[in-house]
Amino acid sequence: MTDVSWQNRFADSMMRTFSPPLAMLVRGEGCYVWDDQGTQYLDFLAGIAVNSLGHAHPEVVAAVTQQIGTLSHVSNYFATPPQIELAERLKRITGAGDEGRVYFCNSGAEANEAAFKLARLNNKGHRSRIISLHDSFHGRTMGALALSGKPHMREAFEPVPGGVEHIDSTIKALEATIDNTVAALVLEPVKGEAGVIDLPAGFLKRARELCTEHGVLLIIDEIQTGVARTGAWFAYNHADILPDAVTIAKGMGGGVPIGALVTFGWASELFRRGQHGSTFAGNPLVTATANAVLGVIERDDLAANAARRGQQLREIILAFNSPLIDEVRGRGLLLGVGLTEPVALKLGAAALANGLIVNAANETSIRIAPPLIVGDAELADFTERFGRALGSL
C-alpha cells in the first residue's frame, strides 16, 4: 500500500530546504488556527510576526476581495491609487516626511537587497565598507546573506557580495569602526532571529550620531520589529532617532507578500531612474491590502495594545517562577524567553502538544510574537497552555 500521508507528500514534493512541518494547517480566525485533524492552536507566533491582525481579519478579507475584483496587477509602467496611498502613508508613519521616498518589493530579503544597492550608491569614490552586526539576520538572498551575521548560513554559498564586515553589538565596536570609509551601517534594532536580543542602551543613539558625523547611511532593518510590533510604529521611535533608510516587510501586509525600502533626506537622492525594479512589486492587490492593515493598526491604536499586552505577557511568563526561565527579552509583542537550559525545542514541542504555537529561535530561546490584536481572553488562554507545556517538561 502506498503511503499518502501529507508528511510523505510534502517530503516527496517540496525542496529539502525546510525541516519537516509541525502540522498541516487548514484554517485560521483571529489568534487561532486549526489543523487537518480539527485541533485548535493559539497562534502566538503569527507566521513569524506577519499576521498583525491575526487570521482572516474581516477588513483584510474585504480589501483583498474588493481589490482583486477591481485591478490586481498592472506593471510599473502604470501608477495605481492604492500604491500612491501606501507610499504616502509609509512616508508619514516612518517619519521620513516630505523628502522620504518609498521603493516597494515583495519580501524582507528584497527590501534589504534594495538597501544593499542603496549602500553601494553611497560610495563617493572611496567608501566601500558596509558594517553589520554579528548574529544579525537580514534574509536569505545573496546580498541579504552577506549582510547577515550568521556565518553558518552563508558559508555554503560563498562568495557572497563583498565589502561587508560584521562587528560586535557594542558602542565601543561602533566607535572603533564607523568612519568616512564606511558607506552604510545596517542593523536590526532587536535581533529577532537570534532569539530576540536587545541592543545595548544608547546604541541606536550613538549609531545615529556617528553615521551623521561621517556621512554613513544608517539603515535600520525593521522587517520583524516594525509596524507597531514593539509598541511604536518602529523600534527606532523608542530611541527617538530617525534612520536614513528603513526596510519593512513581515507585518505590513497582514499575510500578503509585500516589502518596502523607505529612504529619508539625502538618501532619497541616491537611486536614479532604471537602477532598480521588480515586476510584482507594489501592485494594487498587495498595496490595497497593506493600506487596510496599516489603517486598522492606526485606527485601533494597536501600537498601544502591543505595548500594554506585551508588558502583561512578560509579567505572565515571569510569574511562572520557573527555574527554566532566565529572563524575558524584547519589547511590546516581540518577546524572547531566555532559558537556563537548552530545552527550547522540547518546550516548543510541548507547547504545540498543548495547543500553543511559539517558536524555538535557538536552543535556549523561545520567541513569542502574537497578533497585535491579542486581548484578555487570548492572554488567559496563553497562561493556561504555556503553563501546561512548562509543567510537562
Which residues form the catalytic set? 137, 221, 250
**CA 25/CA 15 separation, integer angstroms:** 19
Tell me: cis bond preceding 159? Omega within 30 of 0 counts.
Answer: yes
Residue nearer to ligand PLP on the CB measure, 191 or 385: 191
Q: Judged by CB under 6 A, which of 42, 249, 333, 334 binds ligand PLP?
A: 249
Q: Which stretch binds ligand PLP (CB under 6 A): 4-12, 221-229, 338-346, 385-393?
A: 221-229
Residue 369, helix vs strand vs coil: coil
Residue nearer to ligand PLP on the CB measure, 44 or 137: 137
- The single-letter code of the amino acid at 278 is S
For the CB of residue 224, give the shortest distance to ligand PLP in the complex, in Å.
Answer: 3
For residues 104 and 259, is the Cβ–Cβ distance under 8 A?
yes
Residue nearer to ligand PLP on the CB measure, 139 or 370: 139
**CA 47/CA 335 separation, integer angstroms:** 15
Q: Judged by CB under 6 A, which of 221, 263, 330, 371 binds ligand PLP?
A: 221
What φ, ψ does residue 102 adopt, rounded to 5°? -120, 130
Interactions with ligand PLP, residue window 132-191 (CB under 6 A): 137-139, 188
Tell me: does residue 255 bind ligand PLP (CB under 6 A): no
**CA 7/CA 24 separation, integer angstroms:** 9
For the CB of residue 225, give the shortest distance to ligand PLP in the complex, in Å.
Answer: 7
Tell me: does residue 289 bind ligand PLP (CB under 6 A): no
**CA 362/CA 193 separation, integer angstroms:** 8
Residue nearer to ligand PLP on the CB measure, 258 or 389: 258
Nearest to 297 by CA among 50, 42, 53, 126: 53
The x, y and z cell numbers of residue 100, run together, are 522620504
Q: Judged by CB under 6 A, which of 54, 108, 231, 284 binds ligand PLP?
A: 108
Tell me: does residue 107 bind ligand PLP (CB under 6 A): yes
Q: Crossing angle, helix 284-299 and helix 302-319, to 10 degrees?
A: 70
Residues that bind ligand PLP (CB under 6 A): 107-109, 112, 137-139, 188, 192-193, 221, 223-224, 249-250
